[in-house]
Amino acid sequence: MATEVSISALPYPLTLTLEQTALLVIDMQNDFCSVGGWVNQMGFDVKPTRQPIEPLQRLLMGLRQTPVTIIHTREGHRPDLSDCPPHKLERSRWRGAEIGSEGLMGRFLTRGSKSHDFVDELQPLPDEIVLDKPGKGAFVATDLDLILRQRGIRHLIFTGVTTECCVHTTLRDANDLGYECLLLEDCCASLDPEFHRASVEMVHYVFGWVANSKMLLEALGMEAQQPLVEGVWA
């Protein structure tokens, strides 16, 4: 398999060196993607945030055969909530799903609970990196930048939920830190389709590149076996 691959992304083609590339699977957790999780308890339908699961399964199957570093992130807090800002806690209380309170799968957004854990379909392999973060961005109060620089990573592939929040916050920080950022639009989702659309456009206009998982797998000489969710290239 070629060390370098070229993808016909927006706004122009992007070349990735696989040994210098990391995939970020951002916050594909029960709290954001499962019935009974934190977001669902607030009254949101989680069907949109479950849409990336199938394309991500196929993407992971392919990238696990390459030198690409795979990193899974989780948003959540210590059991004593000492790392949860008061305004975040108050907002969650106002929305009817207080962080740290008990749900169907344990405490919302609290480390160690099933609610906080990844969806069953996207559990990390033992050799993949799991990064717990207390906020939206994966670079704040974590050692993500250190891990990436230790491994010589230059290119980041962004997936996960939600597009406009945790994905976009992390991508913007990565852009400022000098990483080349590729967003796979079919492997991301928002609870609001308009938020997703606008976020995708902002990436290829300002912060990086946009493609989809089918394009990346084809660039790697692999094929996506099932149709992808509707998106920019559908």
pLDDT tens column, 18-67: 999 999 999 999 999 999 999 999 999 999 999 999 999 999 999 999 99
Average pLDDT for the chain: 95
Residues 155 and 22: beta-carbon distance below 8 Å: yes
The yes-or-no answer on residue 187 being catalytic is no
Task: Please report whether residue 230 resides in a domain.
Answer: no
Q: Which of 114, 133, 136, 214 is catalytic?
A: 133
Q: Which run of H or of E encompasses 71?
A: strand 69-75
- Under DSSP, the state recorded for 123 is P
The yes-or-no answer on residue 173 being catalytic is no
CA distance 220 to 59: 11
Task: Please report whether residue 52 resides in a domain.
Answer: yes
Please give the residue range of the domain that contains residue 175. Answer: 4-219
If one counts the domains in the chain, the total is: 1
pLDDT tens column, 96-132: 999 999 999 999 999 999 999 999 999 999 999 999 9
- The pLDDT assigned to 229 comes to 38
> Please, which pLDDT band fits residue 223 given cuts at 50, 70 and 90?
confident
Three-state DSSP at 50 gives: helix
pTM over 0.85: yes
The yes-or-no answer on residue 133 being catalytic is yes
Q: Which of 166, 181, 187, 188 is catalytic?
A: 166
Task: Please report whether residue 231 resides in a domain.
Answer: no
Residues 149 and 109: beta-carbon distance below 8 Å: no
CA distance 227 to 172: 30
